[in-house]
Structure 1
Amino acid sequence: MSTTSDHPTPGPQARAPWNHALVIGLGRSGLAAVDLLVGLGVRVRGYDARESIEGLPVDLSTFLGMPQPPDAAFEGIDLLVLSPGVPPQEIRRRAERLAPSAAIHGELSLAMHLVCFGGQPQWPAVPTVLVTGTNGKSTVTALTGALLQADGRHPFVGGNLGVPLCERLLETLRGAQWIDSLVLECSSYQLETLPPVPTDVAMIINVTPDHLDRYASMEEYARTKARIFGGLGATGLALLDADDEWTDRLAPPEGSGQPSEIPTGAWVARVGDPKTAVVEDDGAAQQLVLYQAEKYPRSSLRIAGGHNARNALFALLAARHLGVSAEACQRGLERFEGLPHRMVRVRELDGVVYYDDSKATNVTSALAGLRGLERPFVLIAGGLSKGDDLTPLREVLARQGRGLVAVGKAAEEFAAMAEGVVPVVRAGLMDDAVPKARALAKHGEAVVLAPACASFDQYKSYAQRGEMFTAAVLGLE
C-alpha cells in the first residue's frame, strides 16, 4: 500500500551519489531515510514486515507484509539502507549475492556520509561529537547539546535520541538553515553500519551487559561500541570511563604493546582519573573537577544521582574540547532539566513518591536510578527481557525494596528473582500495575517504574510505557 506525504522537489544542487535504493525497515528512521533520498532524486524501494505503513511517498515502490524482502527488491540497487532494528549479517550476505556493488548504510551513517563525503553545499561539515555507552548516553548527549547552546551555538542534538539526522538534512533541503555542530547519540545497532567519519569527540560512557540477544558475546558488543572512535583524527578526543572494566581492553595504556581501538594520534582521556575529571568532595560540597583546576559546583546540576555527576564530566570535557567557555558550561549545567522517563518524579500521594524511570531498559540502568534513592521503594519491573543477569536487582531489593510488581513477558523471571526477598505480585498493563504497587507502598516510601527490560512486548516504546505509567499515577485518587 502506498499513501502520499509531502517531500521536497529536488533542487539543482540536491544530488546523491546513488540512483536506486532499497530501505529495509520503515519505522521513523527508515521513513526519514526514504524521504531524504526521494528529495535527492533517488528512486527508492521500501520493505517492512508490516502490511500497512502510513506516510509513504506516493511514488515509493513497496514490499510489505512479507517475513523477508524478496530477491526482486534488490534488483539494480546501488544503495541499501538498514533500520537499526534489523540485524545486518543476513541482509549483508543477500546483498553480496544479489547487489554486490551496493553501498550499505544505516539511517545515521547515510546522513553522516552525505555530510562528510557527499559534497553537498547544503550540509558543510561541522564539529561533531559522537556518544555511546550502555547507560547514560541520552543524558550525556542532551547535556552536551545544552552546554553548546549556552555558548550561543546551534547544534543538532539527536541520532538515536529523538530526531533522526536524515530528518534534519531534509529540513535543510526544504530551506531551513544548517546547524553549526552535531551531537549524536549512537546505539550499538547504529554503529554496526557506521564507517569512520570525521569526529572531534567520541566517547564510550560505559560498557555493561545489554543486547546479548543480538551479540554473540560481551567482547563483540564492546568492540561494536568501539567503532565510535574510528573517525578521530590527530586533534580528536576519545573519552572513556577510568573504572569501566572494558576501558583498558579497548584503549590499553600507552606502552602496553596491546592494540587499541582508538586511532593513533587521538588524545585519550579517562573520566574518573584525577588528572582528567573527577567528582570531588571538599567536605562542604561536591565539585565537578576538570584537569585538577577547573571546578563546577555539583549543586549546579539539577538532576540527582552519582551517575549523573559522572555523566556531566563527560559532557563538560566534550564541550570544553570544542571551545565552549567555562562560563557557558556553568550556565548550561544550571539550565539542564534532565530527560523524560529518566527518574522523573511524577507526584507524591499519601507520603509515597512515584518515579518514572521507563528509560531504564536494562538491569544496569535500573540500578543506577534505584541506588540513588534515599527511601525504600516498591519496584515495577519486567517487559521484554534482554537476557540480563537479574542478581544485582535481587541484592538491591534485599537492601531497600518493599515489594515487586512483575509485568510483561519476563514477569515470571522477575518474580522468581525476588521470591523470598520482598512481596511479589503480578500485573498486566500500567493501569493494573500502579494500583497494586500503591497497595504495597507505605508512607515515606517510593514506587518506581524501572523495568530493566525493553518495552516492545506491550508498548510501542519506553516512552509510551512511561506515559501510561504517568497517566495511571495521576489517575490515582
Structure 2
Amino acid sequence: MSASDSSTQLRLPALARVRRALVVGCGQSGVAAAELLAAAGVELRLYDRRAEVHGLPARLDGAELYFGEALPPDAAFADLDLLVLSPGVPPRLFRERYRRLVPEAELHGELSLALTMVADWNLPTVLVTGTNGKSTVTALTGAMLAAGGLSPFVGGNLGIPLCELVLAVAEGRRERPGALVLECSSYQLETLRVYPEAPRTSVAMLLNVSPDHLDRYDSIGHYAQTKARIFAGLDASSLALLAANDPFTPTSSQAVPPVADSKLVDGPEPPRLTEGSQDLELRPDERYARSQLPLAGRHNAINALFALAGARHLGVSREHCEAAMAGFHALPHRMNPIAERGGVVFYDDSKATNVASVLAGLDGFERPFVLICGGRAKQGDDLRALREVLGRRAKGLVAIGESAEQFLAMARGAVPCQQAVDMHAAVRAAASMASPGDAVLLSPACASWDMYRSFAHRGEVFAEAVRALGSPDTD
C-alpha cells in the first residue's frame, strides 16, 4: 500500500520511476526524506533500530515498518527502486546487501536525494564542509546572499533538512528560494551522488580537517577524502575554496575538477588576513576592516574570508557583504559571550567538541581565561596539543565528565587545575579562579553524551550555572 493517498500525490518528476523505497533511520533527516517520498506516492518502507519511534507524521501511516531489529531483513529490500540512508547510518553496513539484493536501485542520503529533486531549479548552490566552523560559514554566507537579494535557503546539516524545503515548495507552503547554502557533514557527503541529473555546485568550501569521527572512518586520511567529495559537482563556472594552511589541502585539492577555479584561503596571497591589523583582504584592491566583523578570534576572521569569497563569486556587492558582516552574531554555543559577572565574561563555546576547535577559538582570543573542558573524548584526539596555550595564557582549568582525569594529567604543572562533579560546580570553581578582565570559557574539546543530551543542552546548563552565580553586571 502506498504511504500517500493517490488523490493528493505530488508530481515530482525526479521520482517518476520510483515505486518502492526503503528509508533507513527515522531521525529528522530520515523522516524528511520519507515524507517527501510518501507525498509523491512512493510505496514506503521504514527501518530503525529502535523498537518504537514516537512522533512519526500522519503522512507516514501507510508505510511498512521494520523497527527494533539490528539490521533490516532481506524482505525490506525486495523490489526496491531506491534506498535512502540517514546520515548516522554508515553506508558500509548496507552496500554489500544492497548490491546483492537490489543492484539496480539507487542509493542516496537525504541531502543527495533532495539535491536530485531541485536539479531543475537551476539555483546557485553553495556547499560548505570542514571539521570546524562550517555552521558559522554557512550562516554568514547565507546572510550575505540574503543581503544581496538572492533569497537563499540556508540549511542541510544546519537546521532544516533540504527534503523539508523541497516538500514545502512542492505543496505551495513556501516560495522557491533564489539560492541554496548547505552545510554538509562528512556523513552526508558519503552518500552524495554526482551525475548528469544532479545540480551543479556553484561554490564548494572545505574549511579544515582535523581528527573527528574516527570511530566511523578507517583513518583521518579516509575522513579527509570523504570531506573532499564536496568538490565533485563543480564545473567551469564554479569556485573551490580550501584552507591554505591545512595539512590535508594538498591531497584534498586533487579532488577539485581541473576545469573549476580554485583558491587557497589565508595563504601568502589573497584571500588572506593581513599581518598586524588582521584585515580581510579578498583581492589586492579589496580589503575589509577586521572591526566590521563582530566575532571574536582569528578563526572567525578566516571563516568570514571563506564567506566573502563565496558571496562575491555569486555577484553579491561589497556593500551588501559589509552590511551582512556587521549585523552577524555568533551562532548559539559557538564562542558566545553570555554574561558578565564582576568583570569576568562567560563564553559558551559548547560546540567545540574536539581539540582543534578549541585551539581555533583561542587563536586571537584576547582575554586571559579559565577553561572548563571535558566530556566524552574523541577517538584520535591528542589533548597534549592544548598544554602550550594553557601554560601561556590560561588562569586555570576545570575538568568535568568521563575524560576529566585525562585533562588534569595533561594540564598539571602548566596551570592550576580542579575537577568538578557537574557544570554548576565547574562554573563556581572557574569563577573563583578568574579575576576582573578575565574570561571563563566553556570549550570542552569533547562530545557531550556522557552527561548531556547534546552540545546545545550542555551549553544551556552552562548558562543556567552562570545565572545561578548571582545578578549580572550586564547580560
2:66 to 49, 63, 66: 63
Structure 2 residue 24 is matched with structure 1 residue 24: yes
Q: What is the 5 A alignment of 1:135-150?
A: 135-150=132-147
2:79 to 72, 76, 81: 76
Query: What is the aligned partner in structure 1 of residue 337 from structure 2?
Result: 345
Q: What is the 5 A alignment of 1:17-166?
A: 17-56=17-56, 57-116=60-119, 124-166=121-163
Query: What is the aligned partner in structure 2 of residue 254 from structure 1?
Result: none
Query: What is the aligned partner in structure 2 of residue 382 from structure 1?
Result: 374
How far is the alpha carbon of 1:399 from its aligned partner?
A: 1.6
The separation in 2 between residues aligned to 1:68 and 1:427, in whole angstroms, is 40
Q: Is the 8 A contact 1:5 1:55 kept in 2?
A: no
How far is the alpha carbon of 1:9 from its aligned partner?
A: 3.5
Structure 2 residue 398 is matched with structure 1 residue 405: yes
The separation in 1 between residues aligned to 2:370 and 2:41, in whole angstroms, is 54
Structure 2 residue 177 is matched with structure 1 residue 174: no
**Per the alignment, in what secondary structure is the counterpart of residue 456 of structure 2?**
helix
**Per the alignment, in what secondary structure is the counterpart of residue 202 of structure 2?**
strand
Q: Deviations over 1:246-274 (max 9, x none)?
A: 222222xxxxxxxx211121111111244
The separation in 1 between residues aligned to 2:406 and 2:35, in whole angstroms, is 42
The separation in 2 between residues aligned to 1:424 and 1:64, in whole angstroms, is 47
Q: Is the 8 A contact 1:207 1:222 kept in 2?
A: yes
Can you give the 5+ residue segments of structure 1 that lack an aligned partner in the other structure? 252-259
How far is the alpha carbon of 1:463 from its aligned partner?
A: 1.4
Query: Which amino acid in structure 2 is aligned with residue 266 of structure 1?
Result: A
35 and 431 in structure 1: CA distance in 2 versus 1, 3 angstrom threshold: farther
**Per the alignment, in what secondary structure is the counterpart of residue 199 of structure 1?**
coil
Deviates more, 1:60-69 or 1:322-331: 60-69
215 and 447 in structure 1: CA distance in 2 versus 1, 3 angstrom threshold: same
Query: What is the aligned partner in structure 1 of residue 229 from structure 2?
Result: 227
The separation in 1 between residues aligned to 2:267 and 2:164, in whole angstroms, is 38
Structure 2 residue 362 is matched with structure 1 residue 370: yes
Structure 2 residue 459 is matched with structure 1 residue 466: yes
Deviates more, 1:385-394 or 1:11-20: 11-20
5 and 355 in structure 1: CA distance in 2 versus 1, 3 angstrom threshold: farther
226 and 151 in structure 1: CA distance in 2 versus 1, 3 angstrom threshold: same
Percent sequence identity over aligned pairs: 55
Q: Is the 8 A contact 1:46 1:60 kept in 2?
A: yes
Query: What is the aligned partner in structure 1 of residue 217 from structure 2?
Result: 215
RMSD of aligned alpha carbons = 2.3
Q: Is the 8 A contact 1:290 1:317 kept in 2?
A: yes
Can you give the 5+ residue segments of structure 2 that lack an aligned partner in the other structure? 471-475
Q: Is the 8 A contact 2:14 2:117 kept in 1?
A: no
TM-score by length of 1: 0.90
The separation in 2 between residues aligned to 1:349 and 1:379, in whole angstroms, is 16
Structure 2 residue 439 is matched with structure 1 residue 434: no
Query: Which amino acid in structure 2 is aligned with residue 41 of structure 1?
Result: G
Q: Is the 8 A contact 2:10 2:171 kept in 1?
A: no
459 and 50 in structure 1: CA distance in 2 versus 1, 3 angstrom threshold: farther
Q: Deviations over 1:337-365 (max 9, x none)?
A: 12111100111112321110011111111
**Per the alignment, in what secondary structure is the counterpart of residue 289 of structure 1?**
strand
Count of residue pairs the alignment pairs up? 458
